[in-house]
Amino acid sequence: MSFDVEQAVNLLKNEFPQDIINIKEYRNETTILVGKDKIREICSYLKYTLEFTFLADLTAVDYLEVKSPRYEVVYHVHRFGPECEENVRIRLKAELTDGDPLINSVVSVWSTADWLEREVYDMFGIKFNGHPDLRRILMPEDYGPHPLKKDFDVRNREASKESFEKALDDGAE
């Protein structure tokens, strides 16, 4: 019997009944919203028990003034299956509140996450608890703001919301 997304979702639901918040399906892709506190346990379970050995991507999204909590960390995990013939991919999401966003690192689960988490930190300022070497990766070391935040001021290159609003006001005059 081949393994499919539905099976993975059911197994996850049985294992972590409290932490699976929402399951969505859109354009044949399954998105699972999970609680951020258990993210490392869920990822370990996915990798070691369900054999999702490949972390395809790890990124974040800033939903400033669109929804609350503000940030989402997004994981794409992939299961090859025997002879790379199954190829099941699911998307995990964990929500983080504004302020001092912090989530457990998954570097101990997949080494791939090392640079990917560094990039998320660099671009969004989200900190990863337990990351071995969390420093900026693309931007200069002494650079202050985190550019992919929605309140990053593209014109003044200052990520304060005040200067964003000021720039908008200046534009209106």
β-bridge pairing 88-96 and 102-104: unpaired
91 vs 166, which CB is nearer to another protein? 91
In angstroms, rounded to a whole number, what is the distance separating the alpha carbons of residues 99 and 71? 10
Question: Of the ranges 8-16, 38-46, 111-119, 162-170, which one interacts with another protein (CB under 8 A)?
Answer: 111-119
**10 Å Cβ neighbour count for 79?**
21
137 interacts with another protein by CB under 8 A: yes
37 vs 165, which CB is nearer to another protein? 165
β-bridge pairing 71-79 and 88-96: antiparallel
Q: Under rule CB under 8 A, which residues in 70-109 are in contact with another protein?
A: 74, 76, 80, 83-84, 87, 89, 91
Q: How far is the CB of 110 from another protein (least distance, A)?
A: 6
Query: How many residues make contact with another protein (CB under 8 A)?
Result: 38
* Candidate residues 14, 140, 170, 172; the one interacting with another protein per rule CB under 8 A: 140
Residue 43 and residue 104 in contact, taking contact as beta carbons nearer than 8 Å:
no
β-bridge pairing 54-62 and 71-79: antiparallel
Q: How far is the CB of 68 from another protein (least distance, A)?
A: 15
168 interacts with another protein by CB under 8 A: no
1 interacts with another protein by CB under 8 A: no
64 interacts with another protein by CB under 8 A: no
